[in-house]
Amino acid sequence: MVGPTGYVLTTGGIGPTHDDITYESVAKAFGLGVEFHEPTLKGLETAMKNRPGGMTEGRKRMALLPVGCKTLTTEFWTPIAVVENVYILPGIPSMVRSMLTYNEEHFVGVPIYRAIVNTLMLEGDLAAQLTAVQNAHPNIAIGSYVNLTMDETGTRDTSFNTRLTIEGRDKIEVKEVSDEIAKLFNGQHVDPSSV
């Protein structure tokens, strides 16, 4: 599914209804079955004690995890289930953010550096030269995006026509390539945290 140093994160599909099939699907992808994970089942039972309807068969399904999966503890009764490098999370964005933050030490790797250059040139006019730059730097990923940005009034932002992103694991090379692109296309560097 992914190389040994990468991650696949799934979100959603681990609830109590018929269409919540993520645990089963990931298990099947790895040739595994599912089984009740006792710590998850106990946490779920505690959480359901005072809930209307209590424990139901649908709710109990939420503790059926892939056989042999690792689990990462979270502040919720729901763990992050891990099969190889596939991490299974719930679909509620606030829970995902909280669970990943709680377990951030598991997601440490080589950082990816990013630079952004905006240019007034049109994407079609810079395509050939941009391809040449990309070919000269195989360890860098260069993206090109037509500007469709609108301000609060619905007016198109005319300060640039094309946004170019430069990403890689070597900070110096990202800087060198972004400088080359800015010069080549008469572009302006943009702080990546501002977009």
User: pLDDT by residue (tens digit) across 75-87?
Assistant: 999 999 999 999 9
Q: How many CB atoms are located within 10 Å of the residue 65 CB? A: 27
Confidence band (pLDDT; 50, 70, 90) for 175? very high
Residue limits of CATH 3.30.70.2860 in the chain: 113-194
Q: pLDDT tens-digit profile of 131-166? A: 999 999 999 999 999 988 777 788 888 889 999 999
Q: What is the mean pLDDT of residues 83-111?
A: 90
Distance CA 73, CA 181 (A): 45
Which architecture characterizes domain 113-194 according to CATH? 2-Layer Sandwich (3.30)
Residue limits of CATH 3.40.980.10 in the chain: 8-107
Single pTM value for the model:
0.59
CATH entry 3.40.980.10 includes domain 8-107: yes
In terms of C-beta density within 10 A (0-12 exposed, 13-18 middle, 19 or more buried), how is residue 153 classed?
A: exposed
Distance of CA 103 to the CA centre of its chain: 15
